[in-house]
C-alpha cells in the first residue's frame, strides 16, 4: 500500500505490524495474513493494508447480527449507562437531523437495516429504501420497506439525484475505495440532500487499529478531508454522539467545505495507540505468567476486545467461559466457549481478564454488582 486512500499522498509512516495469530476480524474470526497499518501525515488518515482474502471473507461470512431483527450490541454511553447500539443509532439520527414529512431515505450498505426500521417506526411518514451488496437480508427489508424500494449489488438507475437522505452506518471503514463509495452516495442524493454516517473513532476506540477487516481508521481531519474532496459541504462531525465513533452529516451542494488545519498532536496520539497494541500480547502474558491458575480463567466481554485477549493468551485452553452482559450473547458459544452472565460465574473462578475498551473498562467492571462480592484477580490490559 503506497498511497493514502483519502488524499492520495505517498508520505505514509509505518505504524504497526502485528504478529501472526492476531489477525482477527470485526466479527471475531481469525483469518490469514498479518495486520499492517500506516499513518498519513498529509491528512491524518490511518489505514491498514487490505488482506488478500477479504473479498472471500465478506462473500461467505459477513452476516452481522443476522440471527433476528432485534439482535443487538451493547454500548456504554458517556453517562456510564448501557444502551443498545441500533436503538441508539435510530434515536441519535432523529435528534440530529431535521427531516421533512415524506422524506425519502436510503440506508446504503444497510445489512438488515434495523436502524432504518426503527426510524420509520417513529416517523411513519418517511419512505424507506435499502441497498446492500448482499442478498442475505431481503427477508428483513420485506417487513417494512415497500416492494421495489430495495436493490442489491447495484443501486438502481432511477435513484440518481433522488434521495433526501442517505445513511451509512459502519461501512466506510471496510471499503478500499472510500472516495468511490461516498461519490456514489453523493450521486444518489438530490441537490441539498444529506449523507448521515457513522464510522469508528480510532482515538476513542483504539482496537479499531487492529481489526483486520477495517481498512480505514478515520480521524476527524481525515474524515473531513474525504467528505470535502467528494464534493460535500456543510460538514458536521461529532465525536460525542455515538460512543467510540465519529458521526458525520454533510450536504450535497455546490459550496465547498473547508478542510481542517493539520494537527501535530494527532501523529503522537496515533503512535501511542500503535505502541499500546504492540505491547499488548506481552502485557497479557506477563499477567498470565504471574497467575498460573490451573482452575481456569474467564474473559469479560465476548466482542472484539475479548477475542483479542483470547488470541493473546499463552494458554487459551484455560478459558472456561466468556462473561457478557448482553442478553443476546448469553447461552451462545463464542470461539467454541460458553458465554454466561456475571451472575453465573462459579465460585471457584479466580482470574478474570477484561476484554472491553480500556477507556471504559474499569468503570464498566465496577458497575457490575455480581463482581463486587468476589475475590477475583481482575486484569485490564
Q: Binding-site residue total for Zn ion (CB under 5 A)? A: 8
Q: Where are the beta strands (DSSP E) in the chain?
A: 12-17, 36-40, 46-48, 74-76, 82-84, 104-108, 127-132, 150-152, 163-169, 189-200, 216-217, 232-238, 245-252, 297-300, 319-323, 333-334, 337-340, 351-354, 377-379
> Residue 5: which residues within 8 A CB-CB, separation 6 or more?
45, 47, 176, 177, 178, 179, 215, 216
Cell 433526501 belongs to residue? 164
By CB under 5 A, what part of segment 5-64 binds Zn ion?
Answer: 6-7, 9, 40, 42-43, 45
**Residue closer to Zn ion, measured from CB, 179 or 241:** 179
Q: Name the packing angle between helices 264-278 and 280-290 (round to 10°).
A: 40
Smallest distance, Å, CB 278 to Zn ion? 23
Smallest distance, Å, CB 283 to Zn ion? 31
Smallest distance, Å, CB 293 to Zn ion? 46
364 binds Zn ion (CB under 5 A): no
202 binds Zn ion (CB under 5 A): no
Grid cell at residue 339: 458465554
Smallest distance, Å, CB 44 to Zn ion? 7
Stretch of 4-12, 63-71, 341-349, 351-359 contacting Zn ion, by CB under 5 A: 4-12
Distance CA 288, CA 284 (A): 6
**Residue closer to Zn ion, measured from CB, 88 or 225:** 225
Smallest distance, Å, CB 2 to Zn ion? 12
Distance CA 243, CA 122 (A): 23
**Residue closer to Zn ion, measured from CB, 7 or 86:** 7
Cell 449523507 belongs to residue? 195
The strand pairing partners of 319, in sequence order, are 297
226 binds Zn ion (CB under 5 A): no
**Residue closer to Zn ion, measured from CB, 43 or 311:** 43
270 binds Zn ion (CB under 5 A): no
Smallest distance, Å, CB 170 to Zn ion? 21
Distance CA 172, CA 217 (A): 9
**Residue closer to Zn ion, measured from CB, 42 or 189:** 42
**Residue closer to Zn ion, measured from CB, 262 or 282:** 262
Smallest distance, Å, CB 326 to Zn ion? 36
Supply the DSSP symbol for 125.
T
Binding site for Zn ion (CB under 5 A): 4, 6-7, 9, 40, 42-43, 45
Amino acid at each position: 500500500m503506497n498511497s493514502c486512500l483519502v488524499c492520495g499522498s505517498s508520505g505514509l509512516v509505518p505504524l504497526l505490524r502485528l504478529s501472526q495469530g492476531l489477525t482477527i476480524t470485526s466479527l471475531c474470526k481469525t483469518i490469514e495474513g498479518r495486520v499492517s497499518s500506516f499513518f498519513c501525515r498529509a491528512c491524518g488518515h490511518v489505514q491498514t493494508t487490505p488482506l488478500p482474502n477479504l473479498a472471500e471473507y465478506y462473500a461467505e461470512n459477513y452476516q452481522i447480527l443476522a440471527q433476528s431483527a432485534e439482535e443487538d450490541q451493547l454500548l456504554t454511553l458517556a453517562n456510564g449507562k448501557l444502551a443498545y447500539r441500533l436503538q441508539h443509532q435510530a434515536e441519535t439520527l432523529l435528534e440530529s437531523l431535521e427531516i421533512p414529512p415524506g422524506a425519502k431515505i436510503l440506508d446504503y450498505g444497510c445489512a438488515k437495516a434495523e436502524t432504518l426500521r426503527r426510524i420509520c417506526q417513529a416517523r411513519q411518514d418517511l419512505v424507506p429504501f435499502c441497498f446492500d451488496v448482499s442478498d442475505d437480508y431481503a427477508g428483513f427489508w420485506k417487513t417494512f420497506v415497500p416492494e421495489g424500494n430495495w436493490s442489491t449489488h447495484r443501486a438502481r438507475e432511477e435513484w440518481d439525484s433522488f434521495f433526501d437522505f442517505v445513511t451509512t452506518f459502519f461501512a466506510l471503514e471496510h471499503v478500499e475505495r472510500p472516495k468511490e463509495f461516498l461519490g456514489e452516495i453523493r450521486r444518489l442524493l438530490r441537490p441539498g440532500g444529506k449523507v448521515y454516517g457513522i464510522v469508528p473513532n480510532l482515538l476513542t476506540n483504539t482496537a479499531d487499529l487492529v481489526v483486520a477487516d477495517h481498512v480505514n481508521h478515520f480521524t476527524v481531519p481525515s474524515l473531513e478531508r474525504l467528505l470535502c474532496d467528494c464534493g460535500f459541504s456543510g460538514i458536521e462531525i461529532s465525536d460525542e454522539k455515538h460512543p467510540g465513533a465519529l458521526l458525520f452529516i454533510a450536504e450535497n451542494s455546490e459550496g465547498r467545505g473547508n478542510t481542517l488545519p493539520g494537527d501535530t498532536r494527532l501523529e503522537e496520539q496515533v503512535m501511542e495507540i500503535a505502541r499500546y497494541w504492540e505491547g499488548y500480547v506481552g502485557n497479557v502474558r506477563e499477567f498470565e505468567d504471574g497467575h498460573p491458575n490451573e482452575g481456569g480463567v474467564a474473559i469479560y466481554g465476548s466482542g472484539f476486545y475479548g477475542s483479542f485477549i483470547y488470541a493473546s493468551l499463552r494458554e487459551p485452553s484455560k478459558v472456561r467461559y466468556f462473561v457478557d452482559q448482553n442478553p443476546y450473547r448469553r447461552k451462545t458459544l463464542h470461539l467454541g466457549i460458553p458465554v454466561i452472565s456475571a451472575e453465573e460465574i462459579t465460585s471457584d473462578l479466580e482470574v478474570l481478564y477484561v476484554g472491553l475498551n480500556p477507556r471504559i473498562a474499569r468503570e464498566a467492571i465496577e458497575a457490575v454488582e455480581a463482581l463486587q462480592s468476589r475475590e477475583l484477580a481482575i486484569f485490564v490490559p
